[in-house]
Structure 1
Amino acid sequence: MSVIPPVDLTEQFRTIQSDVNAAVAEVLASGQYINGPIVETFAQSFGDYVGSEHCIVCNSGTDALYLALRALNIGSGDEVITSPFTFIATAEAISAVGAKPVFVDIDPSTFNLDVTKIEAVIGDRTRAIMPVHLFGRPVDMGPVMDLAARYELIVIEDCAQATGAEWMGQQVGSIGHVGCFSFFPTKNLGGCGDGGALTTNDETLAATARMLSEHGSRVKYHHEAIGVNSRLDSVQAAILAVKLRHLDTWNQRRTQVADRYHTLLDSVAEVVRPLPVTFGRSVWNQYTLRLPQATAEGQERNQLQQLMREAGVICMVYYPLPLHLQPVYSHLGYQPGDLPQADAAAHQVLSLPMFPELGEAAQVQVVQTLKDCLTKVGLKTAQYC
């Protein structure tokens, strides 16, 4: 029995190994391991790809969010509206600058921020909205940008899982005032280590973010602010430059994998498949099912995940505990039931293996295993959203 992992980076590396090896060898031979021409070239190329005038590359997607908030002078006493159903880094960056995350419930059919619920939590201290393009699926940015204009708010797009996704023909990360990306290895554009980027059309914001990423310095050994050391190293930049050339092809293959899942799951009545995007393009960082009949605490879902693992198909749960119920945010006073859609999703989601090189035979195995294990768990037919 072959084991199917949630993501397999080795197959992708084989297809670009010679180019990556040559790019890394060139960096090592140059002796310029921090900053330097390759970093500048990649930053320019990535900014061009996204469609933004400025791109500041940094140490991680978390740092990109932090630098964006710092550059916008968002801090103590300010509030930033965001999703409770995402990785901790989104809210963590808000907290790290001293601001308060304000969570808005999600749309159960997309897992993204429910844009119809944003206006109700805008207050005197609200400075920004931070939508998360979760699982590679773009948020409907029209209502977000309309609200931002009406209330004079900043929009910071968390694009960590959605490099290459589009809203109304426009790349995510170029729609709001600033976009923040992660180059963590499992992302659509992933390095061989940590990395991130910030994109914007605001020259002043870009210059401030760059200064903050270099210990608060524009001129060496002269420091105008307390900054951080957040730089993308030259080896990672070289690897990412190679991979950027293949990104559109890989994203197209992800779409093909998603389409095959749609077809194979057509007769699996116990699950709800992801809905198509009507206003843009998903890049399918994850293919996430919903098990609506799973009860609170996700016991059936967890049992299903374990049975599939034992049968050789490793699925993931993103995310088993929403941010508003995390211990670190207990002081904010959220209770179970306050954001019911996020609570329910945490108990019901299951992400199937997803990567560009996933073949049809493997997907057939995934879905057959899912069917067999669903029978053992005893979940009833789903009520489709």
Structure 2
Amino acid sequence: MRNILIDLNILLDYYETERRERYPESVKAFDYLKHKDFAFVAASTISNFEFLKYSYISREYPHKSRKQKLKIVRNFVREILSYFKIAKTPSYVTVDLDDIENSLIIASSRAIDGLILTRDKKLLEKYPEITIHPRDFLKRIENERNDRIPLLDLTRETFSIYPEIEERIDKVINRSNFILGKEVQELEENIAGYIGTKHAVGVSSGTDALLLSLRALALKKKGEEFWDKDDLVITTPFTFTATGDTILRAGATPCFVDIDPETLNIDPAQIREALAFFASRKKKVVGIVPVHLFGFPCDMDAIMEIARTHDLFVVEDVAQGFGGSFRGKKLGSIGDTGCFSFFPTKNLGCFGDGGMITTNDDTLAGLARALRVHGGRDKYNVDHIGYKARLDTLQAAVLLAKLRHVDRWNALRQNIARKYSEGLSGFQDLRLPPSPDALLPSCVEHVYHQYTVRVRNGKRDALREYLKSRGIEAMVYYPVPLHKMKVFQGRCEIFGELQEAEKAAQEVLSLPIEPLMGEEEISRVIAVVREGMERVRS
């Protein structure tokens, strides 16, 4: 559903008895829009409503004092604001001085890319592309079941807390301190506190978080700028390209071992076998990069025990797991470093690229801070081969606004996942994500960056096409394991046949898990997936 901006006449239809009876479609549309995340009222409309409602009450109840009248009006406004979000009036839209009221609401509608719900004939005739009558809106609702459901609706998420984001951004603009401004430091402090680490270092992307971590570890452990080609770093082949690519860029060689078919995460048993295999061939493994894929934590007890036994570093790839935990510890606080991505689609995402490194190691934190600004504290006299990999202040401002809501959004994702798992059970060829409590009771918090099922017996693509035909977006993460990619040919080590990773790449399918999805949308996804499974089964 497109964003809806409620015009003044609709508010008055709802809050005045005679108009309620005369315009029932306005009332019905208003009631439908209550508490919807895509429903807005313009700030200018609220001001006009206060003025007109006060005048109306003064005529109807002349005996009431001014204080009593104001109290009544403010109660109405308080109620309206509990139902709907406020849309600002932007300065970049030209105002028609002959019709100030309509100009202001048009400006507000354009700011949210929304439709104005109105009965104003002049508006409806002059701006049919951005207006809708309550009658037509109600018809649209009836056809809503055929609307597209995206994998993630970033606009919905943004506008749900837009005043907070706008306030944060305005403060940055007022100071114009766009590079490593105070918001970056504030975000670093807040995230270090949230994750439970001594340090957090803001960087330009999750990819750079991985790269700078690996570079910093080379400097600390070897006293050299880069790892050597003979230094092996164990990781999973079933992940995004950056996990393996950054190992290469740090000078080391990625060593791919297979995944656990239940969790889709790297298999600690395979890590142990790989270490024994490479030791027998006099090859040196220096570290492990576990990936908390789709928000499901890796078995960090096993991985850290392996790392301690073999004197290996551990860099946690938490790009998809912000807010997740393992045995009471937040992901990103367990290894030598934690690497986070704030790409817009992540559980905590900004308005572009952004990332963070978390660590309890003073030396690694200091090196990461140096590497992100060309390699030294003094950019005119640098110590190391560095990068321009800072987190922008504007992105930090957006993240500060969103950080307050991430636990709530993660809880909503978990609720959707529970409903999916309950509603999609019973199909032999549909393998649902494992319940964290079934694997490690009370030890794992899965934040469901994706809700990823496995569709067996070659039926995945057929199900995906059916969902697409019914307006349900679904994605395949990841169709090609890293060891099959051209970039890693001749540049990696492979332990075993990696059959589980290759099988997963042919079966996985991620369903919509927008945290602000409504109950109707969740039910529709379940119904359409079930329909699709019945079709591909026959």
TM (normalized to structure 2)?
0.68
- The residue number in structure 2 matching 1:158 is 317
| 2:257 and 2:494 in contact (8 A); partners too | no
Q: 2:448 aligns with which of 284, 291, 312?
A: 284
Deviation at 1:322, TM superposition (A): 0.6
Is this contact kept in 1: 2:207–2:242, CA < 8 A? yes
Deviates more, 1:357-366 or 1:48-57: 357-366
Give the deviation of 1:373 after TM superposition: 2.0
Matched AA of 2:265? N
Q: 1:325, 1:335 within 8 Å by CA — same for their partners in 2?
A: no
- 1:72 is paired with a residue whose SS is helix
Residue of 167, 175, 187 corresponding to 2:326: 167
Q: Answer with 174-183 or 266-275: which moved more.
A: 266-275
Q: Displacement of 1:220 after TM fit?
A: 3.7
Q: Tell me the CA shift for residue 333 of structure 1.
A: 7.3
Q: 3-state SS of the aligned residue for 1:49?
A: helix
Residue correspondence of structure 1 range 205-220 to structure 2 within 5 A: 205-220=364-379
Does residue 180 (structure 1) correspond to residue 339 (structure 2)? The answer is yes
Q: Which amino acid aligns with 1:111?
A: L
- Alignment partners' CA distance in 2, 1:335 and 1:313: 37
Distance 1:221 1:109, change over 3 A: same
Decide whether the 8 Å contact of 1:325 with 1:334 is kept in 2.
no
Tell me the residue number matched to 2:227. Answer: 75
Supply the AA of the counterpart residue of 1:145: M
Q: Give the match for residue 55 of structure 1.
A: 200
Q: How many Å separate the matches in 2 of 1:355 and 1:285?
A: 9
1:241 aligns with 2:400: yes
In the other structure, the counterpart of 1:106 is: 259
Pairing 1:366–2:530 present? no
Distance of aligned partners of 1:324 and 1:241 in 2 relative to their CA distance in 1, 3 Å threshold: same
Q: What amino acid is aligned across from residue 171 of structure 1 in structure 2?
A: K
CA contact (8 A) 1:64 1:181 kept: yes
Alignment correspondent of 1:117: 270
Contact 1:260/1:360, CA 8 A, preserved across alignment: no
Of 424, 443, 449, 1:265 maps to 424
Q: Would you say the 8 A contact 1:6–1:352 is kept in 2? A: yes
Q: Which amino acid aligns with 2:384?
A: A
Q: Percent identity between the aligned chains?
A: 42
**Aligned mates of 1:191, 1:357 — CA distance in 2:** 17
Written as runs of structure 1 = structure 2, the 5 A alignment for 1:1-385 is: 1-73=146-218, 75-76=227-228, 77-122=230-275, 123=278, 124-277=283-436, 278=440, 279-294=443-458, 300-332=459-491, 338-378=497-537
Distance 1:333 1:229 in 2: 27
Q: CA deviation at 1:217?
A: 1.4
Whether the 8 Å CA contact 2:253–2:493 is kept in 1: the answer is no
Q: 1:280 to 1:204 in 2, by over 3 A?
A: same
The letter for the 2-side match of 1:162 is G
**Matches of 1:103 and 1:7 in 2, distance apart?**
30
2:113 corresponding residue in structure 1: none
Q: Which amino acid letter does the alignment assign opposite residue 328 of structure 1?
A: V
> Match of 2:133?
none
1:333–1:169 Cα change, 3 Å: closer
Distance in 2 of aligned mates of 1:262 and 1:308: 17
Deviation at 1:269, TM superposition (A): 3.6
Partner-residue secondary structure (3-state), 1:316:
coil
**Larger relative contact order, structure 1 or 2 (CA cutoff 8 Å, min sep 6):** 1
**SS at structure 2 position matched to 1:179:** strand
Asked if 2 retains the 8 angstrom alpha-carbon contact of 1:301 and 1:347, the reply is yes
Larger Rg: 2
* The 10-residue stretch of structure 1 (113-122 or 370-379) with the greater mean CA deviation from structure 2: 370-379
Question: For residues 24 and 81 of structure 1, do their structure 2 counterparts lie closer, same or farther at Cα, with a shift above 3 Å needed?
Answer: same
How far did residue 378 of structure 1 move?
2.9
CA distance in 2, matches of 1:292, 1:332: 32
When you count helix as a share of all residues, which structure comes out higher?
2
Please give the per-residue CA displacement for 1:294-317, whole angstroms capped at 9, x wherever unaligned.
2xxxxx312221221111001000
1:165-202: CA deviation from partner (whole Å, max 9, x where unpaired): 00001000000111000000110000011000000000
For 1:175, give the aligned amino acid. I
Aligned length: 374
For the 8 Å contact 1:50–1:173, the answer to whether it is kept is: yes
2:256, 2:492 within 8 Å by CA — same for their partners in 1? no
Q: Which amino acid aligns with 1:112?
A: N
Report if the CA contact (8 A) 1:337-1:343 is conserved: no
| Inter-partner Cα distance in structure 1 for 2:428 and 2:472 | 20
What CA distance in whole angstroms lies between the structure 2 residues aligned with 1:326 and 1:239?
35
The gaps in structure 1 that reach 5 residues or longer are 295-299, 380-385
SS of the residue corresponding to residue 192 of structure 1 reads coil
